[in-house]
Amino acid sequence: MQNCQWVLDQLKANTVLKSTHTTRHVIHYPDPVYRGFQGGCSDGERYYYQVLMHYELDDRTKDYACIAKVDLQLGKTVAYSKALMLDHANDMTYHPGKHLLIVCNNAPHPRRLTFVDPDTLEIVGTQEIPFSIYSIEYNAKRDGYVVGLSGTREFRFLDADFNPTEDVTHRATPLTDRYTKQGVCADDELVYFIMWDGKHKDLPDFQNVITVYDWQGTYRGMIHFDIGPYEPEDLSIVNGELLAVCVDAQHTPTIYCFEPAEAL
């Protein structure tokens, strides 16, 4: 995986960076029954995967999703899955060695992972893990995962078998206590949590952020981004670029590329 070099170059201890953004692709809903979106991930080279959710059922255990596969080189959505039982599907990651999408189901099954074939976009298995998690990212160099722990501001590092690599739970910086937690991504050096300031979107200090840590769990700094009051859901690094899926003004999932501005 290529590092997001501009972050490595500019981010020092406790630095706050500003960013600009450009639009890469709009993901249109394949059917009116899909009304929202949640987690996504990238394979690091060719495609982007995003979960579109069905929200209308009273019983959340029966929620289903559709995965859209986006070819960033072509700039278009090239496939949609059939309806998949993925619960809230708050985050996803790609495992290149296993050639699998790993979906973090989140509520109402926060310990469940669902494995999806990225070619067929079909479910090929599930696994229960010892932790309730809301986000997940796999890193091939370390052959392990970083996960955000449900109901907390904490995260852990896990090995290839989803066991803790250390007897430490890392606490996110208190600067994030005001934000809604979303997805996580990582490169070989840094870990990135994207967060929404939705509870304060009518206030003058509203600010969506990406908080950055190293693989020792140390807080390294923060990136501000301005897409307006719209909700960011997911973050990925593709060919050294920092991509995020957020809603746009029409409440449609949109892939943005964040680029460096200056340090605050």
CATH number at 255 reads: 2.120.10.30
How many folded domains does the chain comprise? Answer: 1
Q: In the structure, what pLDDT confidence band is assigned to residue 54 with cuts at 50, 70 and 90?
A: confident
Give the pLDDT confidence of 86-137 residue by residue, as tens digits: 998 999 999 999 999 999 999 899 999 999 999 999 999 999 999 999 999 9
159, 166 contact by CB (below 8 A): no
Percent of the chain exceeding pLDDT 90 equals 69
Averaged pLDDT for residues 237-264:
87
Q: What pLDDT does residue 212 have?
A: 96
Give the pLDDT confidence of 193-220 residue by residue, as tens digits: 999 999 998 999 999 999 999 999 999 9
Q: What pLDDT does residue 228 have?
A: 87
pTM of the model: 0.94
Residue span of the structural domain in which 104 resides: 5-263
Give the pLDDT confidence of 166-181 residue by residue, as tens digits: 999 999 999 999 999 9
Cα–Cα distance measured from residue 20 to residue 181, given in angstroms and rounded to the nearest whole number: 21
Query: Which of 157, 200, 209, 162 is closest to 182 using CA atoms?
Result: 209
pLDDT of 44 over the 90 cut = no
Give the pLDDT confidence of 57-81 residue by residue, as tens digits: 778 778 889 999 999 888 889 999 9
Q: What pLDDT does residue 188 have?
A: 94
Write the DSSP string, 197-218. Answer: -GGGTTSTT--EEEEEEETT--
Tokens 């910086």, residue located: 173
pLDDT of 154 over the 90 cut = yes
Let me know if 200 is exposed, middle or buried by CB neighbors in 10 A (0-12, 13-18, 19+). Answer: middle
pLDDT of 242 over the 90 cut = yes
48, 233 contact by CB (below 8 A): no
Q: What pLDDT does residue 73 have?
A: 86
Q: In what order do the strands lie in the sheet with 36-42?
A: 36-42, 47-53, 65-71, 76-80
Query: Which of 105, 102, 48, 104 is closest to 79 using CA atoms?
Result: 48
Query: CB-based contacts of 176: which residues, under 8 Å, 6+ apart?
Result: 153, 193, 195, 209, 211
Q: Kindly give the pairing relationship between strand 253-263 and strand 15-26.
A: antiparallel
Query: CB-based contacts of 14: which residues, under 8 Å, 6+ apart?
Result: 219, 220, 221
Q: What pLDDT does residue 264 have?
A: 65
Q: What pLDDT does residue 50 have?
A: 85
Averaged pLDDT for residues 180-185:
95
Q: In the structure, what pLDDT confidence band is assigned to residue 1 with cuts at 50, 70 and 90?
A: low
